[in-house]
């Protein structure tokens, strides 16, 4: 299972399914949280690198498999 090349819009749309929502923006980074202490920032880029995407997934308490199922 390989991660697709996706942009910030698709990441936010997918993480909203798990209860994450944008709280503020700092420059080109959108800060998202779930209200239970988990948060991360998502850069507004059309293509996120695989390493960065894995870090965002990990910060949200998900596994790669969980994230791919939400897509």
Q: Residue 45's domain is classified under what CATH number?
A: 3.30.920.30
Cβ atoms of 47 and 5 closer than 8 Å: yes
Domain-embedded: residue 28: yes
Predicted confidence band at 70 (pLDDT cuts at 50, 70, 90)? Answer: very high
**What does the pLDDT look like over 3-62, one tens digit per residue?**
999 999 999 999 999 999 999 999 999 999 999 999 999 999 999 999 999 999 999 999
Domain-embedded: residue 22: yes
Cβ atoms of 48 and 7 closer than 8 Å: yes
Look at residue 45 and give its three-state secondary structure: coil
State the pLDDT at residue 1. Answer: 77
**Alpha carbon of 57 to those of 20, 61, 71: distances in Å?**
12, 7, 12
Domain-embedded: residue 3: no
Domain-embedded: residue 2: no
What's the domain range around 36?
8-70
């Amino acid at each position: 299972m390989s991660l697709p090349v996706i942009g910030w819009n698709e990441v936010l749309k997918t993480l909203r399914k798990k209860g994450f929502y944008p709280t503020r923006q700092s420059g080109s980074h959108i800060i998202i949280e779930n209200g239970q202490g988990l948060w991360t920032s998502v850069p507004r880029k059309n293509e996120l690198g695989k390493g960065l995407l894995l870090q965002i997934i990990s910060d949200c308490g998900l596994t790669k498999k969980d994230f791919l199922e939400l897509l």
